[in-house]
Amino acid sequence: MEDRKAEAYRKLYINKYIDTYAEDYKEYIEDLYPFSDGLRYMGYLWDFLKSPTFIHEEQIEEYRKILKKVLIFWDNHSKDLIYIKDYWKFGKKTMVRVDYNLFLDHAHFFPEDVYLTDETLQWTIVFTHEDDINNRRLIMQVGL
């Protein structure tokens, strides 16, 4: 997806799903800090997700039946804070449109923390790098 369109979708997504009035939002997301690869924020958008429901990978698999093309993006983090070799395979502000099943089958090509939606922005699924208390990947959704 071209950069201008990706940036527009990212802004619409943030306006709809992210609590920009939260106490720490400005410090961790809005404020940008200098790194060797440019200005980046320090937090995760998902920390400010409005009214998320927590789901498990079994539900993610069930969505294979109904979800088609999805838009995927990730947090604007610096390579200086990510210690995984070849972690960034796409641009920091890139948004990718792919088939949902293709994404699930090849999720290892993407950053660990990714935000999925579609062009209607009626729902979102967020995969995080965190685990819950049962050592299951922390996955959130709104609107599905």
Q: Residue 84: pLDDT above 80?
A: no
- Helix or strand (DSSP H, E) at 4: helix 3-17
- Beta-strand pair 114-117/69-74: antiparallel
User: What pLDDT, on the 0 to 100 scale, is given for residue 93?
Assistant: 82
Q: Residue 144: pLDDT above 90?
A: no
- The pLDDT tens digits of the residues spanning 109-142 come to 898 999 999 999 999 999 999 998 999 999 999 9
- The pLDDT tens digits of the residues spanning 16-74 come to 999 999 999 999 999 999 999 899 999 999 999 999 999 999 999 999 999 999 999 99
User: Distance (Å, rounded) from C-alpha 72 to C-alpha 99?
Assistant: 10
pTM over 0.75: yes
The two tokens of residue 28 are 């961790």
- Cα torsion 123, 25, 51, 134 to 10°: value is 100
Q: How far is CA 112 from CA 20, 27, 128, in A?
A: 23, 22, 6
User: What pLDDT, on the 0 to 100 scale, is given for residue 82?
Assistant: 79
In this structure, what DSSP letter does residue 11 have?
Answer: H
User: Distance (Å, rounded) from C-alpha 117 to C-alpha 100?
Assistant: 10
